[in-house]
Amino acid sequence: MNVHRITSIVKSISNINSNNFFDEICISLSSAIDADFVFIATIDETKKNATSISVANRGRKVDNFTYGLEFTPCAEVSNGSNCTHSCNVQDLYPDDQLLVDMDINGYVGVPLNTSKGEANAILVALFTEEISKVQEVEALFLLFSGLIEKELHKSSYLQTIEFSNSIIENTHEAIMVCDKNKYITYVNPSFTQMTGYTQIDLQGKTPKTLSSGKQSKSFYQAMWSGINNKGHWQGEIWNKRKDGNEYLEWLSITAIIDENNELTHYTAFFTDITEQHVAKEKRKFQDSYDDLTKAANKKTLFTFIERSIIQYENQIECNTPAALLVIDIDLFKKFNSLYSHSFGDEVLIQVANRLQSIIRSSDIVARTSGDNFALFVNHLINQDSIVHFIDEVTHEFIKPFVINDINVKITLSIGIAYFRRDAQDVHRLFEKAEQAMFAAKDNGRNSFEFYSQLLSDKANKEEQLKLSLESAIENDEFSVVYQPIVSLKNQSVTKFEALIRWNKSGSWVSPVEFIPTAEKFGLISQIGDLVLNKACMELINLKKMGFTDIIINVNRSIYEFSSGADDTSWLDTIKKYNLSPESICFELTESALAPENDKCITILNELQSAGCTIALDDFGTGYSSLNYLRRFPIDTLKIDRGFISEMTKVDGDVVLVSAIISMANALGISVVAEGVELKKEVDILVLLGCDYIQGYYFSKPLLPELLPQYLSDFQYA
Ligand code: C2E
Ligand code: MG
Ligand code: MG
């Protein structure tokens, strides 16, 4: 072996960096062994092609090339065998065009193996002349192949590292590396983006720099014991950014151990999960609280009550230790219709806040639905305590609410049920308090009512009535009777009032009994339509018999406006029968009209401009406000029976009726006296200038088939 050659090669490559290592070694080798070409080529995975990474031609670097391995000596080398042909290599591989083109005579090739011992590159020398010292060449190749292999491993390792680095640098996940003493040695760009800290900021610092102080000492103890014992820990942790803002991250820490089982580093991967956390918290909040008022929702209320009930289980001193109040805001809908929905929302918020300000920390306020709230009041000393509490609530609500600079007065209808006395479980307790609240509403609102068995019976009866009404509507169990209305001026019957009758399994049920229930349960529109249709059919009958100028008064409930009856449907019904709107008068009860009901005013205006007339029923029983007469389009006023019977009693008063008639006359409104039973009453009404009389004096309500006869036979005298 020529020691000088080896020394020169070693010298030439000893000072070079890995960038030109392969070029240098090819150049040195080609000079040392007098080869025409020396090259190193990598083999592709299919072992079909080789690509040179360095080629030297007689001591000079030349361009790289790729070639097919089939039919070449390099194919054997790439399969792991050394291959040497000192001469005539072209004869042995006649299909190797490269050998022919380069005019090659001698060939030496050695495989270059991976660390796993697989050939993935080759070192080849090509000679145009016969190789003189072939063994020396082989020996040198074998000697340096190890060195080249090592360099190849290094470069592939560097490639892998570069690849990993680019992943670490470009990943969205924040990465931090600490040395074994927990000093931060590396952070990636995502870490800087997430925390605001650069690597320089954290030089010589530990992860404590990021601490938010939110986690307890025991939290960190558990974390480090996980890392020390299992080599890994992951979980949620609150940290602090450079700007002081806290954030929640999902953290995963791994302890890195070297081949000697020595701890070298810690790596930490984080993802910012603050947004998800906020969204989760919001969902949690929405699940338990009302978004608008921030009061608890029904579910939370029920859970709260259930927990309280458990606490009371062993206490026997008080039979009524807690009470549930179900609260309804009186006439809440008017805030929405009179102002706006956002105004209504503000009402709800302020009511919730005011209720919240009254309760103690042991109690709870909840918004249970639309304008319904509930309060659960704990630790009552006795039954009277709740009365004091309600006094407080009422007192608190005397102060007006200021919403959008408008002063509004809000009153409440409150139903109360005691835990244990009235119900032992939360659902029953709520139902009973709700029943009591409905009773408070029925009492005219702005009041409170305690649950009692009587109330419950009433509610059950009402529920039964509702079910019967539903089936009565379906089976058309209703009929209509007609009460004559006599014109004092014409001394004839010009109108009839249509009055509904319900034949319930053979017995008659008064409308006074079932109309309020129909109104309460939203069945009133169907009933109103039914009566209007029957009245129209009756008008057609009468027309056929020659009674062409008759008007029928149809009662319609004010609740039909709020239940969404559209303005034209009543007119459409009248037109469907080819009747002129003038032949129908709609009667509305004064007590149910509220001056702020704009929708109602619009519909009434439309009916009136179409030709229908509007009568204000039971005048005097409600607010009797002049305001109604001015704001509503009213043609006729019906004085309630109570005033009429009052006129003829001992010490009776005709002044009131006289005043009503004068006022109506002044406003151009005609007057009907209702419930006239006596001749004396007729006489007074004639004197007072009343326009119409309706009552048993002339006739009770009549079956429809009797109307033609009644009209033909009618004599005023
Ligand atoms: P209203 O509209 O004031 O009807 C007059 C009521 O007084 C009728 O009672 C009628 O039979 C009764 N009445 C008439 N003259 C006399 C009399 O001289 N003496 C006495 N004691 N009573 C007299 P009814 O038919 O029981 O109706 C009661 C109420 O039910 C009606 O009062 C009305 O508010 C409501 N109603 C009746 N039919 C309907 C309807 O189809 N729809 C709606 N929404 N309500 C109706
Ligand atoms: Mg009426
Ligand atoms: Mg009436």
Which of 499, 573, 640, 681 to probe ligand 1 with, by most ligand atoms within 8 A of CB?
Answer: 499
| Cα 15 from Cα 234, distance rounded (Å) | 47
Amino acid at 533: N
In sign, the C-alpha dihedral spanning 114, 116, 120, 121 is positive
For the record, the structure tokens of 176 come out as: 């931090």
Task: Tell me which fold the domain 173-277 belongs to.
Answer: Beta-Lactamase (3.30.450)
**E-strand spans in 562-666?**
584-589, 613-619, 636-639
- C-alpha triplet 513, 516, 521: angle, nearest 5°: 120
Divide the 717 residues of the chain into consecutive groups of 10 and give the mean pLDDT of each group: 68 66 90 92 94 93 94 94 94 93 94 90 95 89 88 84 87 92 94 94 93 91 93 93 93 92 93 90 89 94 92 72 94 82 94 94 93 93 85 91 90 93 91 93 87 84 92 94 97 97 90 90 92 97 96 90 64 95 90 62 90 91 65 90 89 85 92 96 96 97 97 92
Which backbone phi and psi does 264 adopt, to 5 degrees?
-115, -40
574 closest CA partner among 541, 540, 536: 536
Which of 495, 555, 614, 619 to probe ligand 1 with, by most ligand atoms within 8 A of CB?
Answer: 555
How much distance in Å is there from the Cα of 676 to the middle of ligand 1? 13
DSSP structure class, residue 282: H
Question: Given this model, what pLDDT does residue 625 score?
Answer: 60
How much distance in Å is there from the Cα of 160 to the middle of ligand 3? 96
Q: Which residue CA neighbors atom 42 of ligand 1 most closely?
A: 555
For the record, the structure tokens of 407 come out as: 């002063």
Question: Given this model, what pLDDT does residue 603 score?
Answer: 86
Residue environment code for 153-162, b if the CB has 16+ CB neighbours within 10 A, otherwise e = eeeeeeeeee
CATH code, 289-451: 3.30.70.270
For residue 271, the surrounding DSSP H or E stretch is strand 263-272
| Cα 352 from Cα 348, distance rounded (Å) | 6
Question: Given this model, what pLDDT does residue 362 score?
Answer: 87
- 186, 199 Cβ separation under 8 angstroms: yes
How much distance in Å is there from the Cα of 565 to the middle of ligand 3? 22
Domain 3-167 CATH superfamily: GAF domain (3.30.450.40)
Residue ranges of domains in the chain: 3-167, 173-277, 289-451, 468-713
Q: Which residue CA neighbors atom 22 of ligand 1 most closely?
A: 675
Amino acid at 303: T
Domains 3-167 and 289-451 share a fold: no
Q: Which residue CA neighbors atom 9 of ligand 1 most closely?
A: 499
For ligand 1, whether the C-beta of 512 sits within 6 Å is yes
Ligand nearest to the CA of 638: 3
Q: Which residue CA neighbors atom 33 of ligand 1 most closely?
A: 555
Question: Given this model, what pLDDT does residue 294 score?
Answer: 94
Question: Given this model, what pLDDT does residue 168 score?
Answer: 86
For the record, the structure tokens of 145 come out as: 């192949």
Beta-bridged to residue 487, according to DSSP, are 492, 692
Question: Given this model, what pLDDT does residue 515 score?
Answer: 93
The 3 state secondary structure assigned to 174-239 is EEEEEECCCCEEEECHHHHHHHCCCCCCCCCCCHHHHECCCCCHHHHHHHHHHHHHHCEEEEEEEE
- 522, 578 Cβ separation under 8 angstroms: no
For ligand 1, whether the C-beta of 531 sits within 6 Å is yes
The SS3 call for residue 690 is coil
- C-alpha triplet 411, 412, 416: angle, nearest 5°: 155
For residue 682, the surrounding DSSP H or E stretch is helix 679-688
- 106, 93 Cβ separation under 8 angstroms: no
How much distance in Å is there from the Cα of 536 to the middle of ligand 2? 17
Question: Given this model, what pLDDT does residue 565 score?
Answer: 52
How much distance in Å is there from the Cα of 609 to the middle of ligand 2? 21
Residue 360's Cβ-count burial label (10 Å; 0-12, 13-18, 19+) is exposed
- C-alpha triplet 597, 602, 603: angle, nearest 5°: 100
CA dihedral 247, 251, 255, 256 (to 10 degrees): -100
Question: Given this model, what pLDDT does residue 544 score?
Answer: 96
Q: What share of the chain is helix, strand, coil (3-state, %, to 5)?
A: 45, 25, 30
Ligand 1 atom with least separation from CA of 519: 44
For the record, the structure tokens of 520 come out as: 């309460």
Is the backbone of residue 700 left (phi > 0), alpha (psi -120 to 50) or beta?
A: beta
DSSP structure class, residue 423: B
Ligand nearest to the CA of 700: 1
What does pTM read for this prediction?
0.54
| Cα 518 from Cα 530, distance rounded (Å) | 13
| Cα 82 from Cα 644, distance rounded (Å) | 131
- 323, 418 Cβ separation under 8 angstroms: yes
Which backbone phi and psi does 252 adopt, to 5 degrees?
-135, 115
- 491, 545 Cβ separation under 8 angstroms: no
Beta-bridged to residue 184, according to DSSP, are 178
Task: Tell me which fold the domain 468-713 belongs to.
Answer: TIM Barrel (3.20.20)
